[in-house]
Structure formats: C-alpha cells, structure tokens
Amino acid sequence: MIVRSVTPHDAADMVELLNTIIALGGSTAHETPFTEDTMLSHYIAPSALVCCHVAESEGKVVGFQWLGWPRNPDDPMPKGWGVIASFVAPKAAGMGVGQGLFAATKSAATTAGVAVIDATIRADNVAGLRYYGGLGFQDYDRLIDIPLRDGTKVDRIRKRYDL
C-alpha cells in the first residue's frame, strides 16, 4: 500500500469509493452521490484544505483522508482546529489503510499548525467510532437527533485529537 498526496487524477477512483460507501448507508454523513466535479471542490482542492491523502493498492485508491479548516458557519470551531473525514473501501477495511492515512495526515496537520483535529461521526457508525477511538481521539460532545434526508434522526459523536 502506498499513501500519497491526492491529485486531481484521483477524482474518479475517489468518487467510486465514496459513492459505494454512500450507497451502503450508515457510515457517512454524506447522502448524495458525488461527481468528479464535487469531489474536486469538496475534498481535492477546496479553499479550506490542509491536506488530502489517498491510499493506493495495486494502482487503485482504497481509501482517502481529508483534513481542512472548519468551513461551516453554523458550526464554528476554535482557532487552530481542523476537521477530518476518512473513507476506506469496504473490501479494504481492517488492512491498515486508515492507520497509514492518519500517519500522513497527522504529519501534515502538525506542519500546518493544526492544534486539534475534530472528527464528527454518526452514532450508528460503529466502525468509524472504533477507528477514531483507536487512533486516540477522545469524545468531547454529542449532537442530538440530526435528521437525515429521509427524516431519520441520528446523533453525531464529536471526537478530538490534540496535537
């Protein structure tokens, strides 16, 4: 497995990976499928980007991790906080992809001056909660009854990693 910085050429593989996860349901806050254009603007080259890395195995993207500065005006965070998002292909789960991605992200975060990394995870995403907990993220807040597009309410667990 190779972990490297993302390039625009990774967009198609990233779209395929993330749209598969969205279609399976239950493990991402994203509910609308991505296109290559939305992937470029949201994860590969947004203005809030700190870093984005992909994990590649046999020439195929099997995971990616994004770290950016907070960009939701309805959810302000303290200065120096970054927001993380992680996605691993279901077939690559448990193979160290997330660990490899976080090592690269953590290094880039330190270089960029990020003091704390926020991971906000759906409460029903057991694998995601276990992943971030295993990296050393600590619970610090819970958002109650956040509605999905279909009206289903799901809590979000907020975890932090202090650098």
Domains and CATH numbers, the chain: 2-162 (3.40.630.30)
Strands 138-147 and 81-88: unpaired
Q: CA-CA distances (angstroms) from residue 93 to 83, 105, 127, 157?
A: 22, 18, 9, 21
pLDDT in tens, 63-120: 999 999 998 888 889 999 999 999 999 999 889 999 999 999 999 999 999 999 999 9
Q: Tokens for 82?
A: 């970054």
pLDDT-based confidence at residue 46 (cuts at 50, 70, 90): very high
Q: What is the pLDDT of residue 136?
A: 98
How far is residue 133's CA from residue 138's CA, in Å, rounded to a whole number? 7
DSSP state of 34: P
For residues 62 and 39, give the distance between their C-alpha atoms in angstroms, rounded to a whole number.
Answer: 15
What is the pTM for the complete model shown?
0.93
Going by C-alpha positions, the residue among 25, 125, 26, 16 that lies closest to residue 63 is 16
Q: Which two three-digit tokens encode residue 100?
A: 């490899």
